[in-house]
Homo-oligomer: A and B are copies of this chain.
Amino acid sequence: LKQSAGQGQMHPTARAGSPEVAGWLDRARQRVKRIVGEFVDVQCARYLDRLPSPETFEAILVDFVTGGKFLRSTFAHIGLLCGADAGEQALRAAGSVELVHAFALLQDDVMDDSALRRGRPTAHVRLNAWHADRGAPGPGDRFGRSAAILLGDLCLAWSGQLLHTSGMGQEALQRAWPYYDAMLGELAVGQVIDLLNDSRCRPSFAQVLDVARRKSGDYTVRRPLELGAALAGCGAPVVQALTAYGGLVGEAFQLRDDLLGVFGDASTTGKPTGQDLRERKATSVVVLARELAEPAVRQRMDALMCATEVTEDDTARWQELIAATGADERIEELIRDRVTRALHAVHEAPLTEFPCALLHEMAIRCAQRCN
C-alpha cells in the first residue's frame, strides 16, 4: 500500500488527481450540502417564525452554511471512511462541522468589520440593509452586527444538535465529543489571539507559525479528521497518522492563506487585494519578509505598518518590498515541505487505498487552494 499510494503505482480508480477521486469528493460535498441544507431548513421553520420576515434571516443562514467549499466536513467524512463505511448518519455527523464553520465566519466578519465574504456582502452588512429598508428605529449598523453574532450563535448551537441527533451510536459520540470540544475551545481562543495579532507588535516568525497552525490549521483539517476517525472507532495508529497529517496540511493551508492575504486579489479570495496588509495582520509572509529584509528595507516596511492608515498605494509598495525579500518563495517551500511530510505520515499508516488517495488529493488542494 505504501508504495502504491506514494509512487503512483496505485490502482487507477484511487489515485490523487484521478477522475474517480475528484468525482467522489464532488459527490460527497453535494450530499453533505444537501443534508446540512435540509437540517437548516427544518431549524429555520421551527425557530425563525417569530421574527419579522424570517425569509431574510433564513437566506443569510443558508448562504453562510451551504455557500462554502465544505472542506471541514470533507475531512470529517474522510476520517470516518478511514474506519467505517460512511452512510447517511455519518454524513450528518460530518455536516455538523460546517455549522461550526458558519458560526465562525458570521462572527469573524463582524469582528474584522469585513464588507465582503465569498465576493458577496457579509451578513452584518445585509442585516444592516434590511434594518434600513424596514425603516426600523435605532442604529442599523449596531443591529446588523448584533444580529449577525446571534445568527452565528444559532449555528453553533445547531452544530451540537446535528451531531447528537446524527443517528450515530452513543459510543461513537462519546469517542467523538472530546475532539469536537477541543475544536470549539481552540477556535474561540485562537480568535482572541488573532485579535491581538498585529504586525506592529512584531512577533517572531516562530510565534506566527504557531498561531497559524493552532488558529486555523487544527480547526480546518486536524480536528475534523480526528472527529471522523473517532466516530468510526479508528485505532491509535490511524488516529496518530491523521493527527500528524492534519497538523501539517492545516499549516500548509494557512500558509497558502497568508500568501493569498498579501498577494491574492478579489477574484481568488472574494476579498479586497492585500487585505492582510490593510489590516496589519502579522501573518507568516509579513513577518518572514521583515526578518529577511535588509535594514533599510525593514525600516520602510515598519513605516508602512505604523502609518495611521494603509492606503492602496501603501499596499502595492508593501507587496513589492515583501516579494523582493523572497519571502513568498520561502513560504512556497514550506508549503511543499508540509505536504511531503503529511503524505509520508499517511502512507506509513495502516490505511486502505481509497482514503489514502483522498487524503493525498486533499493535501494538494489545501496547499494550492484550488478546492
Contacts and interface: CB of A to CB of B under 8 A. Distances in A.
Interface in A134-166: 136-138, 142-143, 146-147, 149-151, 153-154, 156-158, 160-161, 164-165
Identify the interface centre among A50, A103, A189: most chain B CB within 10 Å of its CB. Answer: A189
Interface string A119-147: 00000000000000000111000110011
A39 B285 CA distance: 39
Interface string A241-268: 0000000000000000000000000000
A153 B52 contact: no
A154 B188 contact: yes
B154 A156 contact: no
Contact of A147 (B149, B165, B184, B195): B195
A224 to B, nearest CB: 16
B157 A185 contact: yes
Nearest to A107: B149
Contacts of A154: 184-185, 188-189
A51 B192 contact: yes
Contacts of A113: 142
Number of copies: 2
Contacts of A174: 170
A201 B143 CA distance: 15
Interface in A83-129: 103, 107, 110-111, 113
A332 interface: no
Interface stretch (A41-49, A230-238, A363-371): A41-49
A186 B157 CA distance: 11
A153 B188 contact: yes
Given A143-B195, A143-B196, A156-B157, A136 B201 contact: yes
Interface string A173-213: 01001000100111011011101101011000000000000
A180 to B, nearest CB: 9
A33 interface: no
A165 B189 contact: no
Nearest to A161: B181
Contacts of A51: 189, 192-193
A70 interface: no
Interface in A17-51: 43, 46-48, 50-51
Contacts of A142: 111, 113
A214 interface: yes
B146 A185 contact: no
A156 B158 CA distance: 12
15 contacts: A47-B189, A50-B214, A51-B192, A107-B149, A111-B146, A111-B149, A137-B201, A138-B280, A150-B188, A154-B185, A154-B188, A156-B157, A157-B181, A158-B185, A170-B170
Q: List 8 tightest A-B contacts by C-beta distance, closest first.
A: A157-B184, A111-B146, A137-B200, A170-B170, A154-B188, A161-B181, A47-B185, A153-B188
Given A110-B149, A138-B198, A147-B192, 13 more contacts: A50-B193, A107-B153, A137-B198, A137-B201, A143-B195, A146-B191, A150-B189, A150-B191, A151-B192, A157-B181, A157-B184, A161-B177, A161-B181
